[in-house]
Amino acid sequence: MTGELSPIDKAKFAAAKQAASLVESGMRVGLGTGSTAAWLVRCLGELVREEGLRFRGVPTSSRTADLARDVGIEVVSLDEARWLDLTIDGADEFDGDLNLIKGGGGALLQEKIVATASDQMVVIADAAKEVERLGNFPLPVEVIPFGWQTTQALIEETLVSMDVMGRQTTLRMNGERPFFTDEGNHILDLHLGRIGNARQLAMVLNQIPGVVENGLFIDICDKVIIGYGDGRVETRDINAGTVSESQLDFVEDDNIFRDI
């Protein structure tokens, strides 16, 4: 029941509900990973069950794939879909130019591949994710396990010449063991505080041997849908240069809340 949800969860649900309305039957849609994207998948599942929506979803992680199948969405691989009409995903941070930090959920590699294989990428987020400058959220960098400590040292050395506030890096853990991505890689979290030139940093990081990909999404997002705890939704379209607002009326018996 929406009345039992926190304001943050209500905000995430509002953004997800609005984004779900962008999906039309026959589309091929990238499905993101994370708490906000999970709301989207539940909303889309409700449309599949209640309104007969039919589309093919390309998940960006095994967790999203499992949830999508559970709610009745047809799941296919990116190779099967080949190209996508739309990808909808969350973000850990976004700035005024709709540049992003992603990867808090550990799926940045698949998320970036899927997003760039789409005609349009839409980000759904609560208002707290907006920042003036990227970097407060630790920047995830996916690295191969072989020689990861050497890769870490190379990253830290590289950061000395970058316009960042901090240079601490940590290996992401899963309990007492290193975290592994779906591709079997590690993630190094870069605690930078502030990133002065995100575009430059993204390019430089990917030149370091052992780095697979970084969580800076530059010039990839086309639209951001921001949800608020009172049901307000703001949509910003970077290409059209437009900002629109709407109001979501929470429905207490909404089917997606049955298992929450």
One domain, residues 106 and 42: yes
| Residue 111, domain extent | 2-130+219-257
The amino acid sitting at 194 is R
One domain, residues 183 and 243: no
Q: Which residues pair with 242 in a beta bridge?
A: 237
- Which pLDDT value is given to residue 205? 98
Residue 255 main-chain phi, psi, to 5 deg:
-65, -25
Q: Is the pTM of this model over 0.75?
A: yes
Domain with residue 205: its CATH number is 3.30.70.260
Number of folded domains in the chain? 2
- Which pLDDT value is given to residue 4? 80
Report how far residue 15's alpha carbon sits from residue 9's, in angstroms, rounded to the nearest whole number: 10
One domain, residues 123 and 17: yes
One domain, residues 210 and 226: no
Report how far residue 187's alpha carbon sits from residue 179's, in angstroms, rounded to the nearest whole number: 7
One domain, residues 106 and 169: no
Residue 64 annotated as part of some ligand binding site: no
One domain, residues 167 and 43: no
Residue 182 annotated as part of some ligand binding site: no
**Given the residues 46, 74, 93, 111, the one annotated as active site:** 111
Residue 111 is among the residues annotated as catalytic for this protein: yes
- Which pLDDT value is given to residue 52? 97
- Which pLDDT value is given to residue 257? 53
Distances (CA, A) of 15 to 122, 158, 229, 235: 11, 37, 10, 9
One domain, residues 159 and 125: no
One digit per residue, the tens of pLDDT, for the chain of length 260 reads 455 889 999 999 999 999 999 999 999 999 999 999 999 999 999 999 999 999 999 999 999 999 999 999 999 999 999 999 999 999 999 999 999 999 999 999 999 999 999 999 999 999 999 999 999 999 999 999 999 999 999 999 999 999 999 999 999 999 999 999 999 999 999 999 999 999 999 999 999 999 999 999 999 999 999 999 999 999 999 999 999 999 988 665 555 555 44
One domain, residues 13 and 122: yes
Domain with residue 11: its CATH number is 3.40.50.1360
Report how far residue 69's alpha carbon sits from residue 193's, in angstroms, rounded to the nearest whole number: 38
- Which pLDDT value is given to residue 3? 55
Residue 90 annotated as part of some ligand binding site: yes
